């Protein structure tokens, strides 16, 4: 069986969301690099796979998908096993909790954390744009409030959806990984259960492997 293909640069957070799921289920895959600076994502080859001209795109034989969360769920459903049941769709209660914390990541956690990553890393290092400290300060205040909720949740369960690793946890990896490279990473020290959860995630082979490749790719793409 041919490996599935993921189109996009390895350092992209949305690409990493898909890759961490592929790693967790042990699927074979190929990353097809897309040069964003050369606007390859706006070319006909990628537009045929993602009509919005964004990354990632995904191909599994004649199945072509876009939108990273949808791709990730496809991967987790296709390669589900007793050792890799990350959506928990066989248990209504557990699946609902996975859905809840997946939504929390998308609508609470990521909007608070991602501007810090952009202002501290992406803008200055890759685009030559100075940090907007006002945006950083406002985002950190929002993030503190979100992490208070996470701290309460993780005081009662090992992972977000329960005492089992799930898609909800994996979703947090890409942006959190980059956040930890900013000067504001010590914020997590104020939330011991959150910090312990993050350390458990980063101890996983999938995240160690992808973290190394993301860091290397980001370093290579600095101007």
Q: What are residue 30's DSSP bridge partners?
A: 5
> In the structure encoding, which two tokens stand for residue 136, read together?
């950083």
Cβ burial, residue 4 (10 Å; 0-12/13-18/19+):
buried
pLDDT at position 169 over 80: yes
Q: CA-CA distance, 68 to 66, in Å (whole number)?
A: 6
The reply to whether omega before 56 is within 30° of 0 (cis) is: yes
Residue ranges covered by each domain of the chain = 4-78, 92-210
Q: Are 50 and 44 in contact (CB under 8 A)?
A: no
**Tens digit of pLDDT for each residue in 126-159?**
767 888 999 999 999 999 999 999 999 999 999 9
CATH class of this structure's domain 92-210: mainly alpha
Look at residue 219 and tell me whether its pLDDT is greater than 80.
no
pLDDT tens-digit readout, 44-96: 888 889 899 999 999 999 999 999 999 999 999 999 999 999 999 999 999 99
pLDDT of residue 39: 78
% of the chain surpassing 70 pLDDT? 96
The reported pLDDT for the residue numbered 223 is 47
Pick the CATH number of 4-78 from 3.40.50.620, 3.40.30.10, 3.40.50.11540, 3.30.1490.20: 3.40.30.10
């Amino acid at each position: 069986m041919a490996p599935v293909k993921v189109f996009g640069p390895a350092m992209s957070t949305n690409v990493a969301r898909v890759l961490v799921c592929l790693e967790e289920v042990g699927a074979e895959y190929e990353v097809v690099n897309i040069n964003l600076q050369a606007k390859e994502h706006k070319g006909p080859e990628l537009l045929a796979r993602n009509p919005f001209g964004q990354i990632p795109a995904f191909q599994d034989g004649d199945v072509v998908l876009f939108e990273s969360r949808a791709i990730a769920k496809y991967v987790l459903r296709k390669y589900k096993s007793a050792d890799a049941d990350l959506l928990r769709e066989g248990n209504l209660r557990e699946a609902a909790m996975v859905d809840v914390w997946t939504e929390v990541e998308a609508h609470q956690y990521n909007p608070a954390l991602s501007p810090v990553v952009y202002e501290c890393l992406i803008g200055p290092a890759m685009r030559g744009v100075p940090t907007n400290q006002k945006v950083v300060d406002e985002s950190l205040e929002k993030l503190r409030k979100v992490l208070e909720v996470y701290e309460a949740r993780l005081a009662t369960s090992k992972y977000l959806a329960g005492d089992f690793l799930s898609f909800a946890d994996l979703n947090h990896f890409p942006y959190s990984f980059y956040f930890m490279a900013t000067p504001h990473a010590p914020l997590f020290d104020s939330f011991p259960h959150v910090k312990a959860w993050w350390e458990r995630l980063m101890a996983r082979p999938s995240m160690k492997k992808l973290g190394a490749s993301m860091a290397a790719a980001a370093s290579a793409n600095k101007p």
